[in-house]
């Protein structure tokens, strides 16, 4: 993975105004970019207003303290675990016999 010295500043354009994000190593150990600044925008009524802009952009996988995640095999692993638990429970307990069905017909 990259190191901090290999990251060049990142230029962002918002509403036609350019802001530069500087490379940074975050407290977590991850690498990425940080930006904080102000831009001017014109509101719908024609008024000029200042916006404060903040942005963190983290390089995915750049944290040396975290092992890379294994790709998921399922879109819903919680559902898969629940289904596996139900199957194991069903396999461990014998299937109860079906209760007899009794039909009652009322006379006239």
Q: pLDDT grade, residue 101 (50/70/90)?
A: low
- CA dihedral (14, 4, 31, 18) in degrees, to 10, reads 0
pLDDT tens per residue, range 38-85? 999 999 999 999 999 999 999 998 888 877 666 666 677 787 788 888
Contact in structure between 79 and 85 (CB atoms under 8 Å): no
- Residue % of the chain over a pLDDT of 70: 78
Q: How confident is the model at residue 108 (pLDDT cuts 50, 70, 90)?
A: low
The pLDDT of residue 86 is 81
């Amino acid at each position: 993975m990259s190191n901090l010295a290999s990251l060049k500043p990142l230029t962002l354009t918002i509403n036609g105004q350019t802001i530069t994000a500087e490379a940074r190593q975050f407290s977590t150990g991850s690498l990425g970019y940080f930006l904080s600044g102000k831009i001017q925008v014109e509101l719908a009524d024609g008024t000029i207003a200042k916006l404060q802009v903040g942005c963190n952009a983290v390089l995915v996988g750049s944290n040396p303290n975290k092992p890379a995640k294994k790709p998921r095999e399922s879109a819903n692993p919680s559902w898969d675990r629940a289904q596996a638990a139900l199957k194991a429970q069903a396999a461990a307990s014998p299937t109860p016999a079906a209760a007899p069905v009794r039909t009652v017909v009322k006379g006239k």
